Chains A and B, each alone.
Chain A
């Protein structure tokens, strides 16, 4: 069969040879499939070379959740810049910052965007401090350490 292929290649035109070359260059890409991706950058569908395996989602820790919660609140577009020093987990949303319910809805939206799940209104209404939101997210994401 190998001989047959060689014979066929000999009869083919230059473009066919080029095709063969591109096929042989695909072999190193196959070996790439086995390497776990460390810094995988998303590309368009037609340009994807590595289809996996990907790193499994990591278990969040309390510290990471805290950082991300504070980061989300800080990067909210109407966050008052002069109150940044007050920003910690135990800060009261309405007393310390003077946020009303609409602001609170916006903060909850920022948290939803950050963690990628929706928080229903019944639950987000009960958030008095940032720690309440933090606790809710930890419960939802099964964070235990």
Chain B
């Protein structure tokens, strides 16, 4: 697979995962677009590899966030509400800000 193909694949994956983002998909998609277009001038192959690896890391983070959210949703059916999902969402957003 060519590098371009991999980048587009990564973008598709991230876009698809963002559709169910708890803070609204619009926020996520706008940021996603911004993050990709910020690096559109990058031509160095090693650097692109690095950026793809970073994107795959973000995918893992979102997966973890979603599974936590699902777990919490199931837990809330039995117990009182808690704000750990909110905290995790905030933590994820902070980590994205830092990237």
Is this pair of chains taken from one and the same complex?
yes
List the interface of chain A (C-beta within 8 A of B).
Answer: 77-78, 100-103, 105-106, 109, 121
B16, A109: Cβ atoms closer than 8 Å: yes
A121, B5: Cβ atoms closer than 8 Å: yes
List the interface of chain B (C-beta within 8 A of A).
Answer: 5, 8-9, 11-12, 15-16, 25-26, 29-30, 33, 36-37
B26, A102: Cβ atoms closer than 8 Å: no
B12, A78: Cβ atoms closer than 8 Å: no
Of the candidates A78, A100, A105, A121, the one whose C-beta lies within 8 Å of that of B30 is A78
Q: Which residue of A lies closest to B1 (CB)?
A: A121
Query: What is the minimal beta-carbon distance from B45 to any residue of chain A, in angstroms?
Result: 19
Say whether chain A's binding surface is mostly helix, strand, loop, or mixed.
Answer: helix
A102-B36, A105-B8, A121-B8 known; 11 new pairs, CB 8 Å cut-off, are A77-B29, A78-B26, A78-B29, A78-B30, A100-B37, A101-B8, A102-B33, A102-B37, A106-B15, A109-B12, A109-B16
Q: Which residue of B lies closest to A104 (CB)?
A: B8
B26, A77: Cβ atoms closer than 8 Å: yes
Complexed CA–CA distance, A121 and B10 (Å) = 13
Residues in A with CB closer than 8 Å to B12 are: 105, 109
Residues in A with CB closer than 8 Å to B5 are: 121
Query: What is the minimal beta-carbon distance from B55 to any residue of chain A, in angstroms?
Result: 13
Complexed CA–CA distance, A96 and B27 (Å) = 25
Residues in A with CB closer than 8 Å to B29 are: 77-78, 106
Query: What is the minimal beta-carbon distance from B33 to any residue of chain A, in angstroms?
Result: 6
Residues in B with CB closer than 8 Å to A78 are: 26, 29-30, 33
